[in-house]
Chain A
Amino acid sequence: MHNPFFVLGLDPGAGRSEIERQGAKLLALLAAGSPQARRFSGPGGNEFERSDSSVRAAMAELRDPVRRLRHEWWFGRLGG
């Protein structure tokens, strides 16, 4: 699984509302068939595929405070 902050295109300072809003926006863009929404940049600038399942999974990860903390830690080490 990719780091959820990369999947959602957010930085670790994002609050709960920002996460939900960004997730909802990406889901809407994916449903509308937006090609830009189907890709995201990972650490080092590599491009990866984004799907509605990966967006939902990323949102679920960041809703959990303990799991979020782990992703914040990794985000820093991945050079985000």
Chain B
Amino acid sequence: MLETAFVGIDLGTTNSAIARFDGTRAEVIPNARGENLTPSVVRLDAEGVPTVGRAAQRRLESDPANTRAEFKRLMGTDERLEFARAGAARSPEELSAYVLASLLDDAEATLGVRPSQAVISTPALFELPQSHATVRAGQLAGLDEVQLIQEPIASAVATGWQRDAQGLWLVFDLGGGTFDASLLETEDGWLRVLDHDGDNFLGGKDFDRKLLDWAVAELGRRGVEVPRRETPDGRRVAAALKQACESARIELSRLERTELLVPELRGVGWDGAHELDLVVTRQTFEALIEPLVERCLEVCRRLLSANQRDAEAVERVVLVGGPTLTPRVRQRVAEVFGGRVATDVDPMTVVARGAALFAGTLGLEAAAEKTSAQNPAGLPLQLEYPPATVDPEPFVVGRFPTEGANPPHTVSLQRGDGWTSAEVGVDERGTFVVQAELAAHAASRFRVIARDSRGTLVAVRGDEFQIVHGLSVADPPLARSIGVARSNDEVAVFFRKGTPLPARRSVYLTSATAVTAGSEESALSIPIVQGERHRAHNNRLIGRLRVDGRQLQRDLPRGAEVRVGLELDRSGVLRAVANIPSLELTCEEVVHILVDSTTAEGLAKKLEELEARVASIRSQLFGGGASSLLRALQGVDESLIEVRSGVELARAGDRDAAARTQRLLQEIDASLDEAEIGSEWPDIEAEADRKISWALYWLSIHGTEGEQERGERALTVANEARRATDVVALERAVGTLTSLGSIACRRDEEFPLWELQWYEEHVAEAVEPEKAVQLLAEGREAWDNGEPERARKVLRQLDRLHPGTEDERRLSFDSGVF
């Protein structure tokens, strides 16, 4: 019988690794060369056949037109990378799939079976499109089931496994291009993520860049001029210098001094007649990188402060990523955290091992068919149990089908080493609950022993299962709220920030547009947005569910009921379903996740848009004179200079620069959002004041004591949010006050009349104008006859016919539902 194996993969930017967990130990599976790390590099030959890993990496410098690296940075974009000799282009997902397939080959060679299920790690700050692309890469590599785990959780799981860890953890993950800090907490073996922070522009490559700048300056001091990068010689020398600096950085982790060897300079900027003797000491290197190390520590302090903790509260720091092997990094982290650094963790493979352990906690066995190989005869049994848990005595729930067969009378559990549980009864529905006892920090295998009322053994199918005792990982929380944009520019929130995943929810909405059956152009658009803002257009559009005319047998009228369901799995992959009961139609699909572009043209267009936004904000700010926001814009100006140079490099074919520029553009976008909120702040405050006054007025007249108390509390929150210029908190508090005010206002005798007057002015915007006119007449008649309750009933029907104005519809990403 095949041994238990759970497989985890660290799909890294520079290197990747695959690990297995056998229920007791998690270890890395070496590749065919016997190495734990496989470079994430892919080369295609003339026939389009891929080579992955070290062999491809060796050709990276000499044959860049056919060899690609660092494509993980492009995941979730629409970029396609060209391979000249094969005359083909591949997406980042396809290239990642080649790397994954190579790792799965290595696993197959070790395990004797090709894994069909695995966990893949992703950076903590990956967004939905990037996560989605990672799952797709796994599927392209032949995996039937892919689950994702955030890298810091994987690191903590691997470090905490088989330890009696308690308290607060900090995962310090310094990769090639990014730095992530994560705060986690373990209580009685239960691990949960508290918060993340990071810097998308800080990594080992910045260490290399500092060294490179130093080397160029040193060469200049010795009269050796490094040729400009725009020339072919310049590019060759720059690549060689970059490689030499990276090697020197790694060597300085164990040596006190090393020499930068750049023979490519011979005959270009150096006559070769004398030795260059470009020696760099660890002391020099450490002085160069000191500001970068401090930036990492500043991110950690910011994270701790945001969670009302200090460095003293951290019980353990886990270092992850190759650049953390730099002695100065380790030394400074140890100084700041009082030496509480886990020293027995391999920072290069910890993520893969954690991913394999997490596969164990999900019960995601590498060979999925294994369980079906159990006893084929006997009564079928459905078992529910935690595949891995820190609970030494977890509950196991089972259910026998009751149709056509009598369920057993009692059941008990028998562990592989002979321990047996107490016998428990099976109820009339065939269900039982029994408590298992696990062997400490190991995998326990159980068999269900079933007996009839006479005590005779009953054969059971699917009676064997395994539970691993160890760390339990709490459901990951959703980072930002997700909902559907309504055509009136409001958001139907499906999942609030912090909702534990997986989660699913359905909401009944109404169609705001008609769709003609058979027409490709005619479609019902359901935009899905992510963010905390009250108005749909202030949030980020992350996907769209589209029901077009070709899917319809009959026309879909305006005002039809549409049931929208969203389902988010643990990995953050979103599935959406739209059900239209009147047409008996269900459209179900993994929602089309919108992607960013990293083509030079796409970047240039985005840059142009941003420059226009900056100019517009600046002119508004000069009017208002908010100097702090002007200062914020100065930072944006500096970044825009970097973007312009990045766009030029992208035009010259530098993919790394393109990816970096794209991330920079995203960050500037976010800064501008903040600056714009700043410029709109007086309007936001004025609007809030107006709504608050309105709500307080109605609460004071018609509010109950309880509503007035809630109103007071919301007012306190609103005032705090105003002091902190926190637009999200202000909008939320004002929203609560407005709801309370509306309830109170509706109690006024005159309310139906005011509402009828409003609908009379906006009747043309109703989804069914004729019906709206009819209802208005009925409402007027009820009001004139002194029947306010009937008028209120009519108003509720009118409300369901009003999808918002044309402007609101346009702002709400052209939503077709309300």
Query: Is B one of A's binding partners?
Result: yes
A binding-site residues for B, Cβ under 8 Å: 15-17, 20-21, 24-25, 27-29, 31-35, 53, 56-57, 59-60, 63
B395 touches A34 (CB 8 A): no
Which B residues, 490 to 528, have Cβ-Cβ distances below 8 Å to chain A? Answer: 498-500, 502-505
In the complex, the 4 A-B pairs of residues with the closest C-beta atoms, listed nearest first: A28-B384, A28-B397, A25-B395, A60-B500
| Chain A residues with CB below 8 A from B380, complex form | none
| Chain A residues with CB below 8 A from B475, complex form | 56, 59-60
A31 touches B500 (CB 8 A): no
A17 touches B397 (CB 8 A): no
B407 to chain A, nearest CB (A): 13
Which B residues, 378 to 407, have Cβ-Cβ distances below 8 Å to chain A? Answer: 382, 384-386, 389-391, 393-399
Smallest Cβ-Cβ distance to A19: which chain B residue: B190
B382 touches A32 (CB 8 A): yes
Smallest Cβ-Cβ distance to A34: which chain B residue: B431
A53 touches B504 (CB 8 A): yes
Q: Which of A24, A31, A59 contacts B391 (CB 8 A)?
A: A24
| Chain B residues with CB below 8 A from A32, complex form | 382, 384, 397-399, 431
| Chain A residues with CB below 8 A from B504, complex form | 53
Q: A57 CA to B475 CA in the complex, in Å?
A: 9
Smallest Cβ-Cβ distance to A31: which chain B residue: B384
B500 touches A28 (CB 8 A): no
A34 touches B429 (CB 8 A): yes
Q: A63 CA to B390 CA in the complex, in Å?
A: 15
Asked whether any CB of chain A lies closer than 8 Å to the CB of B809, the reply is no
Give 19 pairs: A residue, B residue, CB < 8 Å, sorted on A: A16-B188, A17-B188, A20-B390, A20-B391, A20-B472, A24-B395, A28-B384, A28-B395, A29-B433, A34-B399, A34-B431, A53-B503, A59-B474, A59-B475, A59-B500, A60-B474, A60-B500, A63-B190, A63-B474
B binding-site residues for A, Cβ under 8 Å: 187-188, 190, 192, 382, 384-386, 389-391, 393-399, 429, 431, 433, 472, 474-475, 477, 498-500, 502-505
| Chain B residues with CB below 8 A from A17, complex form | 188, 190, 391
Smallest Cβ-Cβ distance to B399: which chain A residue: A32
Q: A33 CA to B403 CA in the complex, in Å?
A: 15
| Chain B residues with CB below 8 A from A15, complex form | 188
A34 touches B397 (CB 8 A): yes
Q: A28 CA to B385 CA in the complex, in Å?
A: 6
A31 touches B397 (CB 8 A): yes
How would you classify the secondary structure of chain B's contact residues: helix, strand, loop or mixed?
strand
B107 to chain A, nearest CB (A): 30
Smallest Cβ-Cβ distance to A67: which chain B residue: B498
A29 touches B429 (CB 8 A): no
Q: Which of A21, A53, A63 contacts B192 (CB 8 A)?
A: A63
Q: A17 CA to B393 CA in the complex, in Å?
A: 10
Given A59-B475, A60-B500, A63-B474; A35-B429 close (CB under 8 Å): yes
A24 touches B389 (CB 8 A): yes
A56 to chain B, nearest CB (A): 5
Question: Given A59-B474, A63-B190, A63-B474, 13 more contacts at CB 8 Å?
Answer: A15-B188, A16-B187, A17-B391, A24-B386, A27-B384, A28-B395, A29-B431, A31-B397, A32-B384, A56-B475, A56-B500, A59-B500, A60-B498
| Chain A residues with CB below 8 A from B431, complex form | 29, 32-34
B47 to chain A, nearest CB (A): 49
Given A24-B395, A29-B433; A16-B190 close (CB under 8 Å): yes
A20 touches B190 (CB 8 A): yes
| Chain B residues with CB below 8 A from A29, complex form | 384, 397, 431, 433
Q: A3 CA to B391 CA in the complex, in Å?
A: 24
Given A20-B190, A32-B399; A53-B505 close (CB under 8 Å): yes
| Chain B residues with CB below 8 A from A20, complex form | 190, 389-391, 472
Q: Which of B188, B386, B391, B500 contacts A57 (CB 8 A)?
A: B500
Given A16-B187, A21-B394, A32-B382; A60-B477 close (CB under 8 Å): yes
| Chain B residues with CB below 8 A from A21, complex form | 391, 393-395
A30 to chain B, nearest CB (A): 9
Smallest Cβ-Cβ distance to A1: which chain B residue: B496
Smallest Cβ-Cβ distance to A56: which chain B residue: B500
Q: A1 CA to B372 CA in the complex, in Å?
A: 40
B192 touches A24 (CB 8 A): no
Smallest Cβ-Cβ distance to B194: which chain A residue: A64
Q: A48 CA to B398 CA in the complex, in Å?
A: 24
| Chain A residues with CB below 8 A from B386, complex form | 24, 28
Given A17-B391, A20-B472; A25-B190 close (CB under 8 Å): no
Q: A32 CA to B505 CA in the complex, in Å?
A: 20
| Chain A residues with CB below 8 A from B477, complex form | 60
| Chain A residues with CB below 8 A from B472, complex form | 20
Q: A57 CA to B505 CA in the complex, in Å?
A: 13
Q: A16 CA to B431 CA in the complex, in Å?
A: 27
| Chain B residues with CB below 8 A from A60, complex form | 474-475, 477, 498-500
Q: A63 CA to B474 CA in the complex, in Å?
A: 9
Smallest Cβ-Cβ distance to B395: which chain A residue: A25
| Chain B residues with CB below 8 A from A35, complex form | 429
Smallest Cβ-Cβ distance to A32: which chain B residue: B399
| Chain A residues with CB below 8 A from B394, complex form | 21, 24
Q: A25 CA to B429 CA in the complex, in Å?
A: 17
Smallest Cβ-Cβ distance to A66: which chain B residue: B308
| Chain B residues with CB below 8 A from A34, complex form | 397, 399, 429, 431
B245 to chain A, nearest CB (A): 45
B173 to chain A, nearest CB (A): 23
Smallest Cβ-Cβ distance to A24: which chain B residue: B386
